[in-house]
Structure 1
Amino acid sequence: MPNKIKRAFLDTEDGQILYRTGGEGEALLLLHMNPRSSDEYRELMPILAAHRRVIAMDLMGFGDSDKPPRMYTIGDYAKTAIALLDELGIEKTSIFGNHTGAFVAGEIAAAYSDRVDKLILGNVAGFGEGGQAELFKRFEDGFKIKEDGSHLMERWLARSRYVGSAELNHRWVLDDLKCFGHPLYAVWAVGNYCLEAPERFRAIKCPTLIIWGLDDMKEFERLSLAKFNDRYFLSQAIPHGQVVEFEQGTICMMNQIPEAVSQVVTDFLNSTE
């Protein structure tokens, strides 16, 4: 029988946070990319929950969590993750963050080092000043609702090159639509954080695994958001980190190849080195 994943809400001073949880044992917190939600880990959670207590939260402003009352920083996102751990009585956890979630995970490891056992950072792009400016220009106003409904087809076609299935694309679009009419809070947060990220990541001392989907990173370069080779800033900032690359890994890799990702993650978490 598949491991049951349940949903619940946490009340915070800035609004409610939805989270999913399942399994027992040592804890693993999962943090999603923008503009996704904890649904990004729908395929991974049951696999990982066979041996661990897994928790995946919708970051404030995304999924079924409330919109925050102000523009959130990466530090704010880290603080809400700690609040969730406190609510669940988890003193120490491993963390797996992808894209935006990786920046939040890295900040948690830097600012709350006593709360983190092991760290997994997925698909961290090296934006640089040029990429940062382009990121802001494209996403600072968020997704706009259009009278003729054309925004629906625009979002459907946004990932047509690599999404792979209509069902998965539908799930992505649902997450997109929950962001419409609001700023993309996490884009603003990452844009402000990315120039200080190398220094913050250098403060990380816990065992760290770095995962890159190479097709994903090349897509950033195709979109003029970040250069493919600039991602190496991460392994330079965390020289003790292990690196695993997935040649065909796309931005949808958590949904498309969950068995391969979960195997790498599980091997790292179980390692005593």
Structure 2
Amino acid sequence: MTVSSTAQGRDGVRIAYQCTGVGPPLVLLAGQANNHHWWDAVREDFCDVRTTVTIDYRGTGDSDRPARGYSTKTFAEDVVAVLDDLGIDRADVYGTSMGGRVAQWLAARHARRVRALVLGCTSPGGEHGIERDANVRRSLAQSDQAASRRAVEELMYTPAYLAAHPGPHSTLGDPTMPAHARRGHRRASDGHDGWPLLPAITAPTLVMHGTDDRLNPTANAPLLAGRIPFARMRLISGARHAYFEEFRAVAGPLVLDFLTDRPDAVAASAG
């Protein structure tokens, strides 16, 4: 059974969240301009052994949609508000894409609250982050909405997966978001610079990425793993941005094995 409720951010904004599953808490953080449905295809992979907690970022889903207040740092504070509302002192955190940027703030500024950290298909941002190439930027900026959406799908999934799973896909953005919230999310992600934060992360950290990710280039993974003390890195061969969904049979066990602190099992799954 899924329990849904709301917490209140420091500025009074209502943040919707959802809990389901059993066991120690695992916070799942979605990508830019997405709500908790980002995790729909894979959430059940964790629910037998983890109480999963998702949120609707401010501007998405059932959360408030303020005119201002969008940044990865603020999103991280909203996660803390949700943990406080649930009475959770410490949790494992799995952030993907922009959610990984949010998780960097959470783990660096609220180290006591994060037991273990997984950063998926994300980057440090700022001057040290590796940006997507010009061809990808042009494909996303097309005025034809159908063509732009198709470009996003092709960056998220392989052609073979799209042929077998034509959609709809829950990772392409919250269609109910107002324009100002979309702009806020874009500025939040683009404005993130986690480089100074990363050495302050003390939680055991796993960095995951698909080898064929062009939306958030794979070269960001070794940057993160090299900057965060004692971080491990696992690359999933052939995966694009939504590695966690298309390659769930590999990605899910990797995450769970890491969170249960079985490094030998992590290495075996990666092979």
Measured against the shorter chain, the TM-score band is: 0.7 to 0.9
Local SS of the residue matching 1:215: coil
Match of 2:228 in 1: 238
Q: Deviation of residue 230 (structure 1)?
A: 4.5
Alpha-carbon distance in structure 2 between the residues aligned to 1:78 and 1:189: 12
Matched, 1:214 2:204: no
Match of 1:186 in 2: 185
Alpha-carbon distance in structure 1 between the residues aligned to 2:207 and 2:132: 25
Equivalent residue runs for 1:152-171 within 5 Å: 153-161=146-154, 162-163=156-157, 164=162, 165-169=165-169, 171=170
Match of 1:97 in 2: 95
Q: Deviation of residue 90 (structure 1)?
A: 0.3
**C-alpha contact 1:126 1:231 (8 A) present in aligned 2:** no
Match of 1:106 in 2: 104
Equivalent residue runs for 1:57-136 within 5 Å: 57-125=55-123, 127-129=125-127
Q: Which stretch has the larger CA shift, 250-259 or 78-87?
A: 250-259
Matched, 1:258 2:248: yes
Equivalent residue runs for 1:37-52 within 5 Å: 37-52=35-50
Consecutive unaligned residues of structure 2, counting only runs of 5 or more, are 264-271
**C-alpha contact 1:22 1:49 (8 A) present in aligned 2:** yes
Match of 2:237 in 1: 247
Local SS of the residue matching 2:208: strand
Query: What do the CA deviations read for 1:122-151 (whole angstroms, capped 9, x no partner)?
Result: 11235554967999xx7xxxx99x9xxx53
Match of 1:20 in 2: 18
Alpha-carbon distance in structure 2 between the residues aligned to 1:16 and 1:263: 33
Match of 1:177 in 2: 175
Match of 1:268 in 2: 258
Match of 1:34 in 2: 32
CA separation of 1:6 and 1:46: change in aligned 2, threshold 3 A: farther
Query: What do the CA deviations read for 1:148-194 (whole angstroms, capped 9, x no partner)?
Result: xx53x24432334254132243x345x34223522432331232222
Q: TM-score, normalised by structure 1?
A: 0.80
Q: Deviation of residue 220 (structure 1)?
A: 4.0
CA separation of 1:209 and 1:157: change in aligned 2, threshold 3 A: same
Consecutive unaligned residues of structure 1, counting only runs of 5 or more, are 222-227
CA separation of 1:230 and 1:55: change in aligned 2, threshold 3 A: closer
Alpha-carbon distance in structure 2 between the residues aligned to 1:56 and 1:259: 21
Alpha-carbon distance in structure 1 between the residues aligned to 2:48 and 2:75: 28
CA separation of 1:239 and 1:15: change in aligned 2, threshold 3 A: closer
CA separation of 1:39 and 1:106: change in aligned 2, threshold 3 A: same
Alpha-carbon distance in structure 2 between the residues aligned to 1:121 and 1:133: 18
Alpha-carbon distance in structure 2 between the residues aligned to 1:168 and 1:220: 22
Alpha-carbon distance in structure 1 between the residues aligned to 2:238 and 2:132: 28
Q: Which amino acid aligns with 2:187?
A: W
Local SS of the residue matching 1:103: helix
Q: Deviation of residue 7 (structure 1)?
A: 3.3
CA separation of 1:219 and 1:86: change in aligned 2, threshold 3 A: closer
Alpha-carbon distance in structure 2 between the residues aligned to 1:31 and 1:229: 21
Local SS of the residue matching 1:29: strand
Q: Deviation of residue 34 (structure 1)?
A: 0.8
**C-alpha contact 1:99 1:124 (8 A) present in aligned 2:** yes
Match of 1:224 in 2: none
How many residues in Structure 1 have an aligned counterpart in Structure 2? 250
Cα RMSD for the two superposed structures: 3.0
**C-alpha contact 1:199 1:237 (8 A) present in aligned 2:** no
Q: Which amino acid aligns with 1:81?
A: V
Q: TM-score, normalised by structure 2?
A: 0.80
Match of 1:199 in 2: 196
**C-alpha contact 1:40 1:255 (8 A) present in aligned 2:** no
Alpha-carbon distance in structure 2 between the residues aligned to 1:37 and 1:127: 21
Q: Deviation of residue 19 (structure 1)?
A: 1.8
Q: Deviation of residue 54 (structure 1)?
A: 0.7
